[in-house]
Amino acid sequence: MNKNFPILAREGWPFIGLTLSLLILSILFCPTLVVILFLIITIFVIQFFRDPTRLANTNPNEVTSAADGRVIAIEKTRDPFNNRDSLKISVFMNVFNVHSNKAPISGKVTQKIYKPGSFLNAALEKASSENELCAITIKTHDKKIITSVQIAGLIARRILCYASEGETLSKGQRYGFIRFGSRVDHYLPVNSKVKVKLGQKVKNTITTLAEI
């Protein structure tokens, strides 16, 4: 399924507009070093809010990553949002990764939970339970449950989740955004077949995390 998104995420337009304005003003009124500084800041902001169009994996039994980043955890644990044994695969996003989040599988959103919390380094395991987060539960056509959890980080201070309870999402559909470095935990059926390794770099919509 081909989902078309702006090249630059709409969440970033105000930031991009501000930095471009400051860059133009610096060119007009400031010395070269200041201009270079604002140029670097502008380039960083533009790359942070990029949101490339990607072709989604259409296999209904494969769960794709909801986020770009690096796999930092693969473990059997308890899904605290649905009180069940599960396989958790966590993806850490640094400030250079694409930060829009895409549905890891097609299905109906049966639950949405927002929990305020701390802003610890998202790479730490305790960030899963202590940091601010927003979790959505997706039930597939064959009644399998996948929980996708957006987690704030040390720098990330804004979680945006556009999915609503009762809504049906298609795999690869854009459902949220986290600003400036963070993490997404995926809770899958406990007998899922893992398709990634610790430390592997993954891309939302494209990389298969597991087969369920």
Centre a 10 Å sphere on the Cβ of residue 209 and count the other Cβ atoms it contains: 26
Report how far residue 66's alpha carbon sits from residue 61's, in angstroms, rounded to the nearest whole number. 15
Query: Sign (positive/negative) of CA torsion 37, 38, 39, 43?
Result: positive
What does the buried/exposed string (b/e) look like for 64-93 if buried means 16 or more CB atoms within 10 Å of the residue's CB? bbbbbbbbbbbeeeebbbbeeebbbbbbbb
Is 182 a catalytic site residue? yes
Catalytic residue, from 100, 128, 148, 182: name it: 182
Catalytic residues: 182
